[in-house]
């Protein structure tokens, strides 16, 4: 059984898969520490950016409130979002965590 890390909004915290609950738990702790260090660095920068600090605070909150679930549960319960096809203008549904370059709603998808 494999596990993934998700935020409360069902966004993937990273794109890795873990083979055990223990491995996923360790990875979640590491993700939290990494985001804490990023926030601290943003706050202690010579010229701190309020936007960067806000982004780091949100990323840290997602990791702190995050959890791990099985890949099967993730696939079954991942929410669908409505997007607009860039070429046709028609609305369509796709999974929330679809990478932008794999989505017909992005210019990158159509330029490949």
Q: Are residues 53 and 94 in the same domain?
A: no
Please determine, for residue 13, whether its predicted confidence score (pLDDT) is greater than 90: yes
Q: Are residues 72 and 85 in the same domain?
A: no
CA dihedral sign, ordered 20, 59, 73, 15: negative
Q: Are residues 95 and 72 in the same domain?
A: no
Model confidence at 8, in pLDDT bands (50, 70, 90)? very high
Model confidence at 112, in pLDDT bands (50, 70, 90)? confident
Q: Are residues 57 and 20 in the same domain?
A: yes
Q: Report how many domains make up the chain.
A: 2
Q: What is the mean pLDDT of the chain?
A: 95
CA dihedral sign, ordered 35, 39, 40, 42: positive
> What pLDDT score does 63 carry?
95
Q: Are residues 52 and 86 in the same domain?
A: no
Cα(87)–Cα(85) distance, rounded to whole angstroms? Answer: 6
């Amino acid at each position: 059984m494999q596990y993934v890390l998700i935020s409360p909004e069902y966004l993937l915290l990273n794109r890795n898969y873990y083979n055990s609950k223990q491995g996923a738990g360790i990875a979640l702790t590491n993700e939290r520490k990494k985001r804490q260090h990023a926030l601290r660095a943003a706050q202690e920068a010579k010229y701190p950016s309020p936007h960067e600090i806000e982004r780091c605070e949100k990323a840290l909150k997602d990791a702190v409130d995050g959890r791990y679930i099985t890949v099967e549960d993730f696939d079954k319960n991942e929410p669908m979002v409505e997007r607009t096809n860039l070429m046709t203008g028609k609305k369509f549904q796709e999974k929330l965590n679809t990478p932008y370059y794999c989505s017909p709603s992005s210019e990158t998808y159509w330029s490949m």
